[in-house]
Amino acid sequence: MRKQLLTVLLALLALSVQAQLNNSYLYHPIRPADSLTNEIHLNFYNFNYVRNYEYSNNFHDGYTLYGTQLEPQLVYYAHPNLAITAGAYLRKDFGNERGLYDAKPLFNLKYSKNNLTLVFGSLEGNIQHQYIEPLYNFERKITTPIEYGTQLLLNKDKFRLDTWIAWQKMIYTGEAAKEEIVGGFTTDVTLLKNDDWKLSIPAQMLVYHQGGQIDVLKEIPISTLFNGAAGFSLSKSIGYRIKQIYTNNYIAAYKDFSPTKVRAYQGGFGLWLNAGIDTYFGNFSTSYWQGNKFITIKGMPLYQSVSDNLYEKGYTENKRQILMFRYQYLKELLPNLYLDVRFEPHFDLANSSSNLQFNHSFFLTYKQNFKLFKVKN
């Protein structure tokens, strides 16, 4: 059975056919523009989610996330190159009788000129960073979507860069807590691009640091962790019914740079292979992960070698092999209303006793920008 599954994967790769599913319906960037100067707008974003894991394994718990998120923001377009926003993030989990599960303020300043954008405050982060799944778990779009810090974005025809730093936990003098900082970059360099073919070289890095000098937890050692990935992406445009075929392939790495080593592994690596086809009827893809002593900072727990499961925390497997098949259906139901349906079964090839397991998702996203009034000079 394992040989047959691997044969299917290799056949797909041979076709020369996004490392991730298409998340564009979930993005909501805000940019200043000449035509908007001195105007006040209401930017409204509503994300509704059902994500269910039918899992029973040692690395990823089985559970369901079901609810809605709102992000209303007032945007002042102060200059053709400057936008200032203030708003709120609200999350309501269905079945939770305590009211809102989470609420956070949203403030940022965005300077944008030509192909460059500087963000200070709440970032255009999370899945918009476009990390691969072993480095950044898609589920964080639901559980921890807000990042505060500084971000520099550069988008050119043949070069894309997102470099950022986020302050996850700041502390005051004498606190019984450690400060936490995370940051990194994703980049993509296009080597070939014409009407049919596109070849690019992506690279990604993520660094996490936990420490500080003004806390009272001196018995807890400093932690510095690294995740990185690099590879190549190749796609070919076809036509109407079959839009494109593609392949995205990465080598991923993990390294513990902490002065005091307390984790099960100090270093590891992984191979992340993807092949797919985008059609009029939906997007079909296959992903294969082979990891060895790999620990992820923010990635999907399924792929790492050390378990964070509720009842299996600390359990280890040096080698992990996951074969996942994916289907995604995208449709704009109405202007500004977007449907995203996903079904993702997988096999754990390193555990022959494991049965087929899967997760599935249903997302409805509404995003709209309303002009309120113009500020008189």
Judge whether residue 175 has pLDDT over 60: yes
Domains and CATH numbers, the chain: 2-18+110-359 (2.40.160)
Give me the pLDDT at residue 377, please.
73
With cut-offs at 50, 70 and 90, classify the pLDDT of residue 4: very low
Read off the pLDDT of residues 35-67 as tens digits, 9 standing for 90 and up. Answer: 999 999 999 999 999 999 999 999 999 999 999
How many alpha carbons fall within 13 Å on the CB side of residue 128?
19
Read off the pLDDT of residues 245-272 as tens digits, 9 standing for 90 and up. Answer: 999 999 999 999 999 999 999 999 999 9
Burial 313-338 (b: 16+ CB within 10 A, else e): eeeebeebbbbbbbbbebeeeeeeeb
Read off the pLDDT of residues 90-120 as tens digits, 9 standing for 90 and up. Answer: 999 999 988 999 999 999 999 999 999 999 9
Lookup result for tokens 């909501």:
28
124 Cα distance to chain centroid? 11
Bridge partner residues of 252 (DSSP): 229, 270
Lookup result for tokens 């982060």:
125
**What is the average pLDDT score of the chain?**
92
With cut-offs at 50, 70 and 90, classify the pLDDT of residue 20: low
With cut-offs at 50, 70 and 90, classify the pLDDT of residue 2: very low
255 Cα distance to chain centroid? 20
| 3-class DSSP string for 206-274 | EEEEEECCCCCCCCCCCEEEEEEEEEEEEEEECCCCEEEEEEEEEEEEEEECCCCCCCCCCEEEEEEEE
Give me the pLDDT at residue 351, please.
84
With cut-offs at 50, 70 and 90, classify the pLDDT of residue 354: low
Q: How much is the average pLDDT of 175-192?
A: 96
Lookup result for tokens 């190159």:
81
Per the model's pLDDT, the better-predicted residue between 1 and 98 turns out to be 98
Bridge partner residues of 39 (DSSP): 77, 374
For residues 322 and 334, the answer to whether their CB atoms sit within 8 Å is no
Q: For the chain, what percent of residues have pLDDT higher than 90?
A: 89
With cut-offs at 50, 70 and 90, classify the pLDDT of residue 8: very low
121: Cβ contacts below 8 Å, ≥ 6 apart:
85, 106, 107, 108, 109, 148
Q: How much is the average pLDDT of 10-15?
A: 37
Judge whether residue 15 has pLDDT over 70: no
Tokens of 93: 């989990």
Residue 252 CA to residue 19 CA, distance in Å, equals 13
For residues 133 and 300, the answer to whether their CB atoms sit within 8 Å is yes
